[in-house]
Structure 1
Amino acid sequence: MLNGSLSYANMDKEVEDEKNFLFNIYTFVLIIIFISNCILNYFFLKDYMYVIVFLILIFIMFLTLFLPNSIRFNKILVFLTFYILGLLTFYCDIIAGKDAMNYLSYISLTTAMSFFFNYRKDKIAIITLIVSFIVFFLINYYTNYSLLPNLHQNLSFTEQHYIRFYKTLEVVFCTLVAVYFIHRKEKIIIRYIVETEGLNKRLKENKQILSRDLYDMAVNNNPLFISSFSSSFPNFFNSILKINPQIIAPELEICALIKLGLRTKEIAQVTKSTVRSVENKKYRIRKKLNIPSDVDTNLFIINTFNIDD
């Protein structure tokens, strides 16, 4: 059991380490994207204000690498980060104009969400962000990019071409990174499943060995049998007592012996009583557990109360 616990702990640690690794790598991906935006705005668009904005974002993303996991993996903070990035994309899309194709950044953000959110646990957050990105895009589409006219950059054809080229590279880069990490995560999940199945098999074998040891203790009338059985499989007696707390110790012993596969005659020999006495105890157990008349007592106990829980 100790080895099993250690194995589970090692697997959990490996999964947690992989989670940190993916988070760090994609944080670096975002930093690279922001650096590229700085280069684009500084050398090609000559828009120095946005260079400062992206430098601030680079500093913030770099800072997250040193924050404790309780902050880094806080779903509210991650959600707000993506929402703010979506708003920034929305704003840049407005001022650059339709032909600049800034809206392609929504694809990059959507791709990145797979590394920061759990699809099963964070469905609401994911759906909210995706719907928000779609709404942002549709607002610009149906208003023909007429919002905030005083802030429009009125980019030249060449400048728009630079942005389109960069955005295309950004989407391709993020997609390739996503494909690589999805493949990596699948390999880890498969290995985790295989290791878990192997561990469960070993634990089951240990249970079977332990059951055989308890069987030997029972047939040899070892006085430590009940205490050993209770220590090894505490849920067995607890499950029975949940149905009826009035079941007494001798009846619990009968249930344990039945679970180990002993027949009525063998139980009588182990408990040093008559077959009739054992049958009477089984009848009382049957009544207390409300076992249906068409169900065998032994089969009910064996199939209902699992020692593997």
Structure 2
Amino acid sequence: MPAGSQRARSPEDPSVLYNVVEINPACLRLVDPTENLRGLGIVMTIMFSLMLLLIATNFILFYDTATRGYGGEYLAFVAGGSLLGVFGLWRAYRAASAPMQYTSIISRRLRRIYAWSRKGGWISVDYDRAVAFIFRGRLVAPTGASAPVVSLRVAELEPGSRRIARCVAPTRIFSSREAAAGAWQFIRRYMDEDPAAVPPVVLMPNHRINAFAWMDRELFTEEIDRQHYPAGLFDGFAFWIIAGAYYLPNWMEYWVRRYGKRPPLPPELAAALQWEGENPYRVVPPTPEETLAMQGKLPHMKKRWLHASILGILLWGVLPLGFVLVTVLKWIASSN
């Protein structure tokens, strides 16, 4: 792909213009590449850990140690299940409480792209020396379904070689190469040209103001349009299924973003993010539907999320609690 020093063209795909979190003379922030994966990982770890602890408890209560002893089978399920369950809960807690920065920060003043890594802390790439490329992969759901995806990566190479010294993913994964390439073209236009040459953008709703409006635009970009309507008949059905299946992970992702710790910014970046005056970058004003959605007063959005919430509560609440209730009744029956 073109280097940062080359002149930018217009974005090849306009979808990037709907993935801007913040744009001003100091920085550009785009939607995070992880989307709801943190919330999904935390919830699945908790559920798997609780399942192991429940299995271990069942063995303690129902295993006939009088005739079968405390052999390998008993120790494997009780000790192994208990240790793995407690370890999993500890890992989930660490993941939820660890500092996180949910967007990369593209600094126009410093000419660098900053990203946060849990293992390495802040990583920055020199924009003028950076090489952009598209990484192709497959996104696999817990159900086993998969879909091809592409991701924009920006790397800084070691001097005199083709080895990558540092690499960041400045924005979300896309379903097409054109969209990922368009994101790079948009970044180059922001970094290299005047604000008047940057296309108008539609800012992502702030998750701190309204969770449902934010989920519609960031987590269900393909299914929900700007007016918070399903993009088509199939998209409405897909939203209902996906929103229900990922109900608890999505809310966990929201909780982590809303209340999680933030790592301190590098001193030079914190100073470079200060700016005053009018913002010269063009932002498309919200439509009446978007305004009502941010206020939590858009009827069709509230109704759609009510239906998805019913399915989500059934899948993540009623069914697991029903399983626990059956187990408790078995305990009571066996003790009588």
Say which one has the larger Rg.
1
Relative to total residues, which structure has the larger strand share, 1 or 2?
Answer: 2
Q: Do the two structures share a fold, i.e. TM-score over 0.5?
A: no
Higher RCO (CA < 8 A, seq sep 6+): 2
TM-score range normalised by the length of the shorter chain: under 0.3
- TM-score of the two chains, using structure 2 as the length reference: 0.23
